[in-house]
Amino acid sequence: MASRARSLLLGAGLAALLLVVFLVTVWLLLAVLEDGALPGGPRVAVVEIEGIILDGDQAVRELRDHAENPAVKAIVVRVNSPGGVVGPTQEIYNAIQRVRKAGKPVVASFGAVAASGGYYVGAATNRIFANPGTLTGSIGVVMQMANVEGLLKKVGVEYVVVKAGAYKDVGNFARTMTPEERRILQALLDDVHGQFIAAVAQGRGLEESAVRAVADGRIYSGAQAKTLKLVDELGGFEDAVEAAGRLGGIPGRPKLIRPRKHFSLTDLLKSELGVGVPSALLPSLPTLRTPLYLMY
C-alpha cells in the first residue's frame, strides 16, 4: 500500500513537472513568435508614431531591434502625429536613417495627420504613402510663451528673478521681451528651421531651395503634398505594407510584426469605464511648463 502511494505521488509530481515545462515552453514559443525570431517567412515590422512626439526612446528602440532582426526585411512607420519637441523628433529621424544604411527599406504610412515633426519623421523613409485627405507638411518651428505682466500688476504680484547671465531668463512671462532677446530667439528658430529644411531635402532627395519654397509652416492635404513631391504615393496602410514587402523582396502578402501595446492609466480608465479623463487631470504639455521648448 505504501509503495503504491509513493508511486502515485511520484507520478503526480512528474506530471506536474511536465505540465510546468509544457507551459513554460508554450510561453517562450509565443514570446519568440511575437518577436518574429522563429522561422516562418520574412516579415514587415510596424512602428507606430502616435500623438505629440515628446520622447523618441521607444520608437528608436523598436527601430534598432527590427534592424537587428534577420526575419524583418522591411519596416512600415505608421505616423499619426501633429508634431512634437525637436530633439526626440530628430532622434527618430536619425534612427530611421540608420535602418536604411543597414540595408533595410523603411516606408512611411501617414494616417489622419502627419504634420510638422510627424512629417519630419516620414521624410527619413524610402517612400511616403499618404491618404488624399491626410494633413501634412507644416514645415516650420514654433516657440510659444505668455506675457502676464499686466495681470500680475493688477493682482498686486511682483515676480522677482535673480540671475547670473544677461539672457538667462529669456522668455520670462512676467515682463515684456526686449528687442535683443527677440533677435536671439528668432536666430535660434531660424537655425532649427534650417535643420528641418535640410533634413527634408536630404530625405526626399530634393534641393533645399525647393523645400524652402514650401516650408513656410502651412499644412497641405496628402494630394497637395504629392504634387509638391513631399509624398510619393496616395494610399493607406495596406498600400504601404505591400510596397514595403516589395522593397524587402518578400513575395506575396507579407506577414507583419505589429508593435506591442503599452496602455496608460488613461487608456485603462477609458477601456474599463467607457469614459474619458478630464484634461485637468492629465500632465500638461511641456510648452506650458517652460517657455523654451522648440516644437516642430
So which residues are the catalytic ones? Answer: 116, 168
CA dist 280 → 161, 270, 275, 277 (Å): 29, 16, 15, 8
Cell reading at 97: 536613417
Which residue is listed with cell 500638461?
284
Query: Cβ(78)–Cβ(111) under 8 Å?
Result: yes
Q: Which of 142, 133, 136 is nearest to 123 (CA)?
A: 136
- The DSSP letter of residue 213 is T
The residue type of 255 is K
CA dist 86 → 77, 172, 186 (Å): 18, 21, 16
Distance separating alpha carbons of residues 145 and 102, to the nearest angstrom: 41
Which residue is listed with cell 502616435?
50
Count of other CB atoms within 10 angstroms of residue 200? 25
